[in-house]
Amino acid sequence: MIGENKEKVKLKEIKLRGVIYRLFAESFKEPVPIFIMHHELEMLLAELSNIGEIPLPPIPVSDPSAEIHSVFGHNLSPDVPPYETHYGKLDVFRSTQKLANLSGFYRAFGLEPQAGDRRPDHLPIELEFISFLCLKEALALEREELEYAEISRNARSKFLSEHLCQWIPFFTESLCQKASGSYYAGLSKSLLAFILWDAKSLGVELKRDESETVRKEDPQDYCTSCLGGI
């Protein structure tokens, strides 16, 4: 009975992670995200914290519709672009390789971009993929297909290590510098803390790939000043 309850808690936790990643993805999308997502996201994060403690900074309560264009611009913002390949020492060839690597991840799980989709390195798309992997793992566990659950879990670990853990710290830092105290700065802090917590729970080693960042700061700091010491 105890083992069964433990498995149910584990399954619920994985599902919650998937839903939270999905809400983070929706919150960074255009057109303007629905304000109610803020409250739903906070409730789900609080529920997940009851299972495993997550050191999350609060998300400022403000209307994102008043900020989205001032922070990200009507076109691509040169200060805080929500695209992975803008945060590295990447020439055209290596940027293409990075995009191909992302597309390879997606295709390996039967996902193909639709007409009108953003580039594969767009933040919401990467977050949607992580959400998909969480929910796919949960479904495999429900069906007692442990091998398939492990495949999804390993893919999530690898994707976090090679992609989100590499560039989200610097995306967050850029947002802190451009729009400190804004809804999106707070949202990105919570996203970063959640990603690092998830990665750590999977045993991901948090280290910077020197070829992928133009920042001089140690990645272990992860914008400590703007995260309030997390």
pLDDT tens for 68-114 read 767 776 655 667 889 999 887 767 777 888 999 999 999 999 998 77
**End-to-end alpha-carbon separation of the chain, Å?**
37
- Omega cis (within 30) before 55: no
Model confidence at 218: pLDDT above 70: no
Q: For residue 128, what pLDDT band results from cuts at 50, 70 and 90?
A: very high
DSSP helix/strand/coil, 79: coil
Model confidence at 31: pLDDT above 70: no
Residue count (the chain): 230
Residue that has been written with the tokens 């729970």 in this structure? 201
pLDDT tens for 164-206 read 999 999 999 988 888 888 888 888 999 999 999 999 999 998 7
Q: What is the pLDDT of residue 219?
A: 38
- Rounded CA-CA distance 122/125 in Å is 5
Which amino acid makes up residue 145? E
- Rounded CA-CA distance 60/183 in Å is 5
Q: What is the pLDDT of residue 212?
A: 47
Domains of the chain and CATH, by start: 2-62+81-227 (1.10.3480)
pLDDT tens for 134-169 read 999 999 999 999 999 999 999 999 999 999 999 999
DSSP helix/strand/coil, 122: strand
CB 52 within 8 A of CB 27: no
Q: What is the pLDDT of residue 214?
A: 40
- Rounded CA-CA distance 80/172 in Å is 9
Q: What is the pLDDT of residue 220?
A: 42
